[in-house]
Structure 1
Amino acid sequence: MGRPCLLAVFGTSHPHARALDSSPAAAEPLAASASPFDAALAALQNQIGYAFRSPDLLRRSMTHASYSRENGRALAVLGLAASQSAAALRALANDRDAPASAVSRAARDAAGEAACAAAGARAGIPAIVRVAGGTKASAAPVVCGALRALVGAVAVDNGTADAAAEVFWRLQVLSATAAM
């Protein structure tokens, strides 16, 4: 039995986590396709600094339930949990004596729909996520669901929550930087 895997707090991967690769070559499997959707997914991989071994997970994460039965809803559940865990871990790493209410608030605020939708919008998810006609791709629940699914997809692809936490924080930093 191996030792338990803890989420990365300050941008370092678990020793068994796959290295994040932000090189342009990292997204070549998707970029080789002529599909505009695949080209957008390749650009997203470059932006988040993570190259998927299983591009189907990325495709699924950017597919809303209104579009297909093969969508990112289950991945979003994992992504929410990984995001909340990353935020709670960071809160406790910053203050080990923090009251439970402060840790809970930090997790809720960092992974909540408002922060999630803002980060997803700044990452360009509304232009990427596939939705059915009549569903607004820029609606906060759609954008947030896709971002959470993306974080969950990273966790499944990598086999740990460490890389998912890194992508979550990278998206938060990109969002905060764009807001300035």
Structure 2
Amino acid sequence: MAGGSQGSLLFHCRFFLLTILVSSARPLSPLQLMQVEADTTSSGEKATARSPFSIALENLQKQIGYEFKDVGILRRAMTHPSFSEENHRALGVAGVYLIQSAVAVRYLSNDPEISGSDLSSKVVKMSDGSACARDALALGLEKVVRVAPKTNATSAVCGAYRALYGAIALDSGTVDSAVSVFWNNHGGFVSAI
């Protein structure tokens, strides 16, 4: 809609509310009327309160430099199995393979003569639990992931970290987007591993 049409729609909505107030046997108080206006956005849509989790997801997207088309995928990625049946387990499986493939391809690109055992060792070092937990904590995922009390925090953030990249691949429809975000947030190529 054009800007003028939105203003017209808003005028008609307010006129409709005023008509209801005038004809109602029990009119809304000025405070109730202000609440109706506060609960409505400028486009006339119902505004929704944002939870701390929603705010954390918005901040995470800004931090990693990727905006989800379907934030529900990111919600799932940041939900530990201890918290809900709708959780990050499958996305984490995709994410770990994505990370391992990204690392392997990066090392092979840098050194096509690398031995299989050296490559395997480097992949393991960059995708094992300690590397995963370190990278997850660097992103502050411990403040984002939803987890039940008394759950191992390291495994919770590590699973969420891996699931994040699986979620990006699913949301974007391409592994390349997830790999790009991984390297941008991991600090690029680390040759000293």
Question: Given the two structures, how large is their TM-score scaled by the length of structure 2?
Answer: 0.70
Distance in 1, Cα, partners of 2:93 & 2:49: 29
- Note the C-alpha offset of 1:169: 1.6
User: Aligned residue for 2:171?
Assistant: 157
Which of 1 and 2 has greater Rg?
Answer: 2
Among 93, 116, 119, which residue is 1:103 paired with? 119
Matched, 1:169 2:191: no
CA contact (8 A) 1:62 1:150 kept: yes
Unaligned 5+ residue runs, structure 2? 1-47
SS at match of 1:64: coil
Residues 93 and 37 of structure 1: CA distance in aligned 2, closer, same or farther (over 3 Å):
same
- Note the C-alpha offset of 1:42: 0.5
Distance in 2, Cα, partners of 1:57 & 1:107: 26
Distance in 2, Cα, partners of 1:170 & 1:140: 23
- Note the C-alpha offset of 1:171: 2.6
Residues 42 and 33 of structure 1: CA distance in aligned 2, closer, same or farther (over 3 Å):
farther
- Note the C-alpha offset of 1:33: 5.0
Over the residues paired in the alignment, what is the CA RMSD in angstroms?
Answer: 1.6
Distance in 2, Cα, partners of 1:86 & 1:33: 38
Unaligned 5+ residue runs, structure 1? 1-31
Map 1:116-135 onto structure 2 (within 5 A). 116-135=132-151
Map 1:62-141 onto structure 2 (within 5 A). 62-136=78-152, 139-141=153-155
Higher RCO structure (Cα 8 Å, ≥6 apart): 1
Aligned length: 142
Note the alpha carbon deviations across 1:131-179, whole angstroms, 9 max, x for none: 112224xx221111000000100010111111111122223229x9xxx
Distance in 2, Cα, partners of 1:94 & 1:153: 27
Identity %: 46
Question: Given the two structures, how large is their TM-score scaled by the length of structure 1?
Answer: 0.75
Note the alpha carbon deviations across 1:3-25, whole angstroms, 9 max, x for none: xxxxxxxxxxxxxxxxxxxxxxx
User: Aligned residue for 1:17?
Assistant: none
